[in-house]
Structure 1
Amino acid sequence: MKNRLFLLLVLIASFASNIHAQDLTSLKTEAQKTYEASANLNFDAIFEHTYPKVFEIVSKEQMKEMFDQMMANDQFTIKLIPVAPNFKFGNIKKIENKLFCVVEHDNAMTMKFNTPMEGAEDLIATFKASMKADEVTYDKASNTFSIKMRSTMIAIADEQTKNKWKFLNNDKSGQLFNMLFNEKIKTELGL
Structure 2
Amino acid sequence: MKNRIALLLLLAASFVSELYAQDLASLKTEAKKTYEASANLNFDAIFEHTYPKVFDIVPKEQMKEMFDQMMANENFSIKLIPVAPNFKFGEIKKIDNKFFCVVEHDNAMTMKFNKPMENAENLTETFKTSMKADDVTYDKATNTFSIKMRSTMIAVADELTKNKWKFLNNDKSGQLFSMIFNEKTKTELGF
TM-score normalized by structure 1?
0.99
Other-structure match for 1:55: 55
Q: 1:125-179, CA deviations, whole angstroms, 9 ceiling, x for partnerless residues?
A: 0000000000000000000000000000000000010000000000000000000
Other-structure match for 2:8: 8
Quick one: distance in 1 between partners of 2:46 and 2:16?
A: 31
Other-structure match for 2:91: 91
Secondary structure of the structure 2 residue equivalent to 1:148: strand
Which structure 1 residue ranges, 4+ long, deviate > 3 Å from structure 2? none
Q: 1:69-108, CA deviations, whole angstroms, 9 ceiling, x for partnerless residues?
A: 0000000000000000000000000000000000000000
Quick one: distance in 2 between partners of 1:161 and 1:12?
A: 27
The answer to whether structure 1 residue 26 and structure 2 residue 26 are counterparts is yes
Structure 2, gaps ≥5 residues long = none
TM-score normalized by structure 2?
0.99
Q: Percent identity?
A: 83
Quick one: distance in 2 between partners of 1:173 and 1:57?
A: 16
Question: What is the correspondence of 1:18-167 to structure 2 with a 5 Å cutoff?
Answer: 18-167=18-167
Instruction: Give 1:36's aligned amino acid.
Output: E
Quick one: distance in 1 between partners of 2:72 and 2:10?
A: 57
Secondary structure of the structure 2 residue equivalent to 1:161: coil
Instruction: Give the CA deviation at 1:3.
Output: 1.2
Quick one: distance in 2 between partners of 1:78 and 1:11?
A: 52
Quick one: distance in 2 between partners of 1:49 and 1:19?
A: 22
Instruction: Give 2:71's aligned amino acid.
Output: M
Quick one: distance in 2 between partners of 1:186 and 1:56?
A: 19
Structure 1, gaps ≥5 residues long = none
Number of residues paired by the alignment? 191
